[in-house]
Amino acid sequence: MSLDRGSRLGRYEVRSLIGTGGMGEVYLAHDPDLERDVAIKILRDGSTSSDRVRRFVQEAKAASALHHPNVAHVYEIGTHGEMRFIAMELLEGETLRRRIDAGPLPVGEALSLATQIAAGLAAAHNAGIIHRDIQPENVIILADGYAKILDFGLAKLREREGPDAATLLKTEPGFTMGTLGYMAPEQLAGGEITPAADVFSLGVVLYEMLAGRRPFEGTTATEIAGAIISKPPPPLNRPGVPPALEKVIFRALEKSAGGRYGNAGEMLQALRELSGEMAATGVPGGVAGRRSWKRVAGVAAAMVILALIAGAAWMALLGKRERDAERLIATAEGHLRRGAYPEAYGAAVAAASMFPDNERLRNVIANSSEKVVIESDPPGASVHLRRFKGSPEGQDAGTTPLTIPRLAWADYLVTITKEGYAAAVLPMSTAPAFFRGQLMRRHSPHLEVD
């Protein structure tokens, strides 16, 4: 059923229909209590199918459990008569699909968007939620460049204690859910779904942003599925894409879930480190290379959360972005002045994902981190880094011979392991040395283990 202008759903007053999706219709509505416009999603035709209702409620529960700037906010799930609805954040922008359809994205823009999507997914994975349907149609890009993940209708909640421990949406063995071209091999095979499935989907999206095409293509569903399961992704063959970025993408696209990043948080860390390296070395392709926002804002489509941004609204958003940039940069510079180098580097890398061409951020990164080389004889040893003052878990850095483009200045314990050899635990310091208050010139640490 369609709702007429002026209809009410609880306290919300319907203004107009702005889009339809696989399960429901989305309306522009007004919340008079909080004096704001919202998007209202309802089940199409008031469907009472138990599976559709469960998926609809699941979407609301999954999204409302997350509070992250890169995830669309859900305000309320309610009923009006026999009609179920979700009140959510009204966003103004365009889908990532529309952006990709205009052509491959500049490297810096693709990296920034992928980093933001990974950040939103990392929050979901930390909350025990697997999205399972990451694709360009489910990402909205706001006029100020921020990305928002939408549509948790296929999300899976990993087991937790209590009566609601089971997954919110159960599927029979061998039954797949998701969008074919972006599904991980284990999704197609009806296997166990872990956060690594979302990592694979994000890898497909990042590849497509840079190449303008998906890595696994075919003329039929069978051909596409076969390519995902058995064929390696073709090289990007695009000048200007750093080899390190291509390495991140191809790791995300590994056929085996165990060969990928275990979750979006691990991929996020790799993307942030790469953003910092690009910002510090001046690799082109950042914000300056982005397509004109005026051209983006001039594109209109009759779909959910899509509108023109112009005039005073545009200036307000531009001002917000500038204020956000100043706040993030000032935080990084403040850490640097206090000698809190890991904190300075972390803050600068996080900000560089949104402002990759900023000279002040480059300065912070260059003065709080440096390249580290770790080698072993024989090679192929696993390297684990842990700061003396920091998280006790540390991080897996990779296998030798290993070059870490930027590592925050700090004191580390390096654990090197290889099957058949005794583990080696060695101290390593990248912390700067000072003489009479002046920073001494330092060489990049090079650690060799026999």
Rounded Cα distance, 65 and 220, in Å: 37
Per DSSP, the three-state class of 340 is coil
CA angle 21, 27, 32 (to 5 degrees): 150
What is the bridge-based pairing of β-strands 395-399 and 369-376? Answer: unpaired
Q: In whole angstroms, how far apart are CA 269 and each of 17, 116, 278, 288, 396?
A: 40, 11, 14, 24, 11
Identify the bridge partners of residue 73 per DSSP, sorted by sequence position.
none
Could you tell me what percentage of the chain is helix, strand and coil, using 3-state DSSP and rounding each to the nearest 5? 35, 25, 40
Please classify residue 219 by burial: count the beta carbons closer than 10 Å to its beta carbon, then call 0-12 exposed, 13-18 middle and 19+ buried. Answer: exposed
431 with 358: CB under 8 angstroms? no
Question: What backbone phi and psi angles, to 5 degrees, belong to 368?
Answer: -140, 5
Angle at the Cα of 36 (from 316 to 27), degrees rounded to 5?
110
CA distances from 306 to 89, 141, 201, 293, 417 (A): 13, 10, 24, 14, 52
Contact (CB, 8 A) for 105 and 210: yes
Asked if omega into 378 is within 30° of 0 (cis), the reply is yes
Amino acid, res. 446: H
- Catalytic residues, by residue number, are 133
Q: How far apart are CA 236 and CA 246, in angstroms?
A: 8
